[in-house]
Structure formats: C-alpha cells, structure tokens
Amino acid sequence: MEDDALIAQAQAWLAEDPDPDTREELARLIDDGNHAELTARFAGTLQFGTAGLRGELGAGPLRMNRSVVIRAAAGLAAHLKKQGHDNGLVVIGYDARHKSHTFAEDTAAVMTGAGLRAAVLPRPLPTPVLAFAIRHLGAVAGVEVTASHNPPRDNGYKVYLGDGSQIVPPADAEIAAEIDAVASLTTVPRPTTGWDTLDDTVLDAYLARTDAVLSKGSPRTARTVYTAMHGVGKDVLLAAFARAGFPTPDLVTEQADPDPDFPTVAFPNPEEPGAMDLAFAKARETNPDLVIANDPDADRCAAAVKDGGDWRMLRGDEVGALLAAHLVRRGATGTFAESIVSSSLLGRIAEKAGLPYEETLTGFKWIARVDGLRYGYEEALGYCVDPDGVRDKDGITAALLLTELASGLKAENRTLLDLLDDLAVEHGLHATDQLSVRVKDLSLIAAAMRRLREQPPTGLAGLRITRTEDLTEGTDRLPPTDGLRYTLDGARVVVRPSGTEPKLKCYLEVVIPVAAKADLPEARTRATALLTAIKRDLSEAAGI
C-alpha cells in the first residue's frame, strides 16, 4: 500500500475510534510514520470465522479493539434480525482479560441499539456459564468475550446461536458478510443504557445443574489441588465442589485469582511446558489424589496424577477415555462423540458398550451438534459431560466427574492409572502425541500443507500408509476442512492448521495390542519409539 493511501486509511479509522487507548496508540504510529507497523494493522481485516474473532489487542482492523468489536456486534445483530429475531434476547459473557468487560458492554449497546434485548453476565465468569445461560434464558444468541488460553496480549469474540452451541457454516459467512456491510461506526446506534446486567440467578441455576453430572450416593473423598491458571474458574469450581460434598481443593494461590497479565506462565494453557509447575509443587506439599487445572475461561479441564515418584499430566485423550469408561460403568446411554484428532479408543469403548459413536471435525461447534449426544470430548482438554445443560466443553463439570471417578477408584484402593491399564488390556494401548509448530509467518503453515499434498509420504516410522485423505474434499461423514489424514498399519496421523493460534498441528496415534497387564511396559516403550519416529519423519516430509 502506498504511504499516502495507508496514512489516509489510518486517519479515517482514527476519526471513528471510540477508545482513547487505541486512539493514542494509532495517532503515535501515524505521527511517527511507522509504515511497517501501520501496514501490519491495515493490510486486511481480522476475519470472522467459525471461531468468531481472536487476535492481538491494538488499534486497526487487524487487531482486537472496540471498533472491530462494534462492527462484529452490528453484523451479528443484522444477521439475527434477518433470521426473524427482531426482539430476541442476546446474552453476553466475558472473561477477565484486558478490555473484555468493555467489549461486552459495547456488544450490549449495539444489540440494544438494533432493537434486540441484551443481558450481560454479572462479572467475569467461565465460558460454560454463558453457554448454559443461552438456553436457560431462551436467548436467540450469545457472545463470550474471551481468548481462552491465548497469550495475555490477545482477546477474542466467540458467538453462539440459540441452540447453545457455537456457530458453524453457513452462519459464520452470513455474519461476516453483515460485518463487511458496516460502512462506518457512525451508522451503528449505541445507546448508553437499555440492557440488563444479570444477577447471580443464572449462575445459581448453572451450579444447581452441575449436581446432575454426579451419581447419587457416589464416593466424594478424593482430595485435589486446583489451579485456575490466573483465570475465572476458581469461585465457580469451589462452589460446585462444595455443593457436591468433595473436600475443598487446595489452591495454587499464585494462580488462583484473575490476572490478565498471567504473570507466572509463558502461555496460560495447562498443555504448555511449565504451566503446571506451581500445581505440581503444591501437590508435592499436600499429596492429593488428583491435580485439576482449568484454562483461563474454564471451559477446559486438565488433570495430573502421581506416577511413580512424581506428578505427570494426563493427556487429553487419557482423560477422555477415563470419563467415557466412568459413564459406561454408570450405565449411560446416548451417543459418544469426538473429533477426528482425538484417540480412536473412544470408538472402541463405545462399541464394546453397544453405544452409538460419531466422529466430527475439530471443535465443539461440531461435537455439540451430534444427534443424541451423551458425551463428547476433544484431545485439547475439552469435555462435554452434560450436553443437556451445556452444549460446549465445560471444565467445571468435567472436573466434578473426574473427581467422582477418582473417589470411586480410591474406595477400591485403585487409581486412575490402574483404570487406564485396564482399558489398554481390554482395547489395546492407544498412545497419542502431538507435533505442534508455532510460527510468526503464517505462510510457513500453508507451505507445509502444500508440500504434504504435492509430495505425499508413503510411510512414516517404517509403517506403510494405507490410506491418505485430503479433508478439503470432505468425506461421506465429514464436511470439507483444511487437513490431511493418514491411516497406517497400527497408527493414524492428522495434520491441520490451528483454527485459533498460528500453529501447524499434527495429531499422532499408535495402537499396540496388549495381551496382559504384564505386557504394558514393553508396549509403552514400543509406542514411544514409534511416536518419536513418526514425528521425525512427518517433520521432514512437511519441511517444518
């Protein structure tokens, strides 16, 4: 873009910007003639997709800011009105990140100005409370202002429709078109009053619903250490645990309260190296039965157990299988579902129990839409254990159910690891791992996907690839998505760009038959070697 055109575009944006913080930031960039930074912010617009919006805070159309949020809210409002929801209710939640409350109030103002009704949750609360509130209140849509487990500089805008699940095509494209049609912020009415700020009645109803995930009279003795990862989960989780009658969790106090700067972690994601270090230190002090972690908006649940002499994180696939086995043992009926990047063990468990099983594209926006869903999970620490209450992943109810399972096993003098061993003997050892590459230049991800398509590998780790699927073409069960799936002799690999972060993600699984528990150590050694070799060969094939 030519300098004059770039400056003119930035000045036009500045003239409409309602936020003094980003106005000051943008004015400084213009005054300094910082062409490179202005180009980075004005070379396009933050794209609204099936994950809504997510990006770095800052001025300009390629950043998260009030101008972008107001346009997004206006587009959503226009879409809802075209769907006939002229006086419909939109409920809005938010986390504790920088600008989250402001973005929530801007959204409420836009909805009110458009003739819709708006209600804002009373304070920063877990995302599953918002997902619950949509159906509980009979809303036509919901918005959650959150960037989940992204770095502190980010924020985001997640949109749900009236069924309580996140948007999927074609609604995302229709809303995006309405956003693009907003010519100027001056055309968007934004009254200063007229919406409701809810009290704790909705939260109380959510907490009452959490009781439903547990079995009456089940053991409630497992002791836990809990970290909220500087997010909004602590108060709601403690209230849910108290209602259930579990021992009060020992808190990781350094991470217990909301802090948008996430000072103790590089990335506020329990999966990231080092994020659980303080929780493990607390566990070494208190020797609990289980460590529980939520991500900052508390829709994900991580767990760690004592393995030998120290603590280790359970993989999302391990927790997914444990919760499935627990539900089967309790006599659950309905469909078990997971995304294509999660372990195939869930399908084996469902088949053995005579339960329906479905595989979906990545994300709970797809899992939550499975007909007759009883339980759904995704390897990235997301679990839906009460789909009638929350049609999304829910880190609070998942923590309750997992602690109930640990309590029942404790009463039998067993652990979660013992149950994982049983599942491996019954269904084969399903070992999973991930190759995840974070980039600054998104073109590197596109180049890796192109290389894999143009020069597809014929084998990985000495295992022959028996089937290659380019998921952009869709399958008889799945709509199109940008991804590749390889089926190997005794293994499976899925490669896809992340939908929420600048990452290429490769999901690996090997399955090793196990005749008896005594064979497990050798099977695990073999599985680890295979996963390491697959990662090496896949990295070379993708050029990453």
Distance CA 161, CA 10 (A): 34
Report residue 94 as tokens: 């938010």
Instruction: List the one residue out of 142, 139, 140, 89 whose CA is nearest residue 116.
Output: 89
Whole-angstrom CA distances from 466 to 328, 431, 454, 457 are: 32, 19, 18, 11
Q: What is the DSSP letter of 369?
A: T
Whole-number Cα distances in Å, 486 to 124, 173, 439? 42, 30, 23
Cα-flanking dihedrals φ and ψ of residue 48, to 5°? -90, 120
User: DSSP labels for 412-478?
Assistant: TT--HHHHHHHHHHHH-EEEEEEEEEE-SSTHHHHHHHHHHHHS--SEETTEEEEEEEEGGG--SSS
Which residue from 463, 478, 452 is spatially nearest to 362, judged by alpha carbons? 478
SS3 content of the chain, % helix, strand, coil (to 5): 40, 20, 40
Count of positions (residues) in the chain: 544
Cis bond upstream, residue 170 (ω within 30): yes
Cα(253)–Cα(276) distance, rounded to whole angstroms? 13
Token pair in block for residue 216 = 């009456």
Q: Which two tokens stand for residue 480?
A: 């199109």
Contact 496, 362 (CB under 8 A): yes
- Strand bridging mode 117-120 / 196-197: parallel
Give the distance from CA 327 to its chain's centroid: 22
Q: Say if CB 159 and CB 52 are below 8 A apart.
A: yes
Instruction: Report the DSSP beta bridge partners of residue 418.
Output: none
How many angstroms separate the CA atoms of 422 and 329, rounded? Answer: 13
Query: Tell me, what amino acid is at 141?
Result: A
Per the CB < 8 A criterion, the answer to whether 290 and 405 are in contact is no
Q: How far, in Å, CA of 221 to CA of 313, rounded? A: 21
Of 100, 148, 339, 342, which residue is the catalytic one?
148
> Which residues, at least 6 apart from 253, have a Cβ–Cβ distance to it below 8 Å?
none
Q: Tell me if residue 43 falls in helix, strand or coil.
A: coil
Q: Regarding beta strands 117-120 and 154-161, do their DSSP bridges make them parallel or antiparallel, or are they unpaired? A: unpaired
Please say if 165 is a catalytic residue: no
The answer to whether residues 268 and 295 touch, using CB atoms and an 8 Å cutoff, is yes
Instruction: Indicate which residues carry an active-site annotation.
Output: 148
